[in-house]
Amino acid sequence: MILPTKHIRPERALLTIGAEILGCLREPMTVSRVWDELRKRRGETPEPSAITYDWFILALDLLFIVKAVDFDSGVLRKAAT
Asked whether 18 and 62 are in contact (CB, 8 A), the reply is yes
| Angle between the N-to-C axes of helices 14-24 and 53-65, in degrees from 0 to 180, rounded to the nearest 10 | 80
Listed ranges 5-14, 46-55, 66-75; the one with the highest mean pLDDT:
66-75
- Whether the predicted pLDDT of 4 surpasses 80: yes
End-to-end CA distance of the chain: 26
pLDDT (mean) for 6-12: 88
Q: What are phi and psi of 77, to 5 degrees?
A: -145, 160
Measured CA distances, 29 to 11, 44, 69 (Å)? 23, 21, 11
pLDDT of residue 49: 67
pLDDT tens digits for 25-45?
Answer: 999 999 999 999 999 988 876
Kind plus residue range of the DSSP H or E element containing 7: none
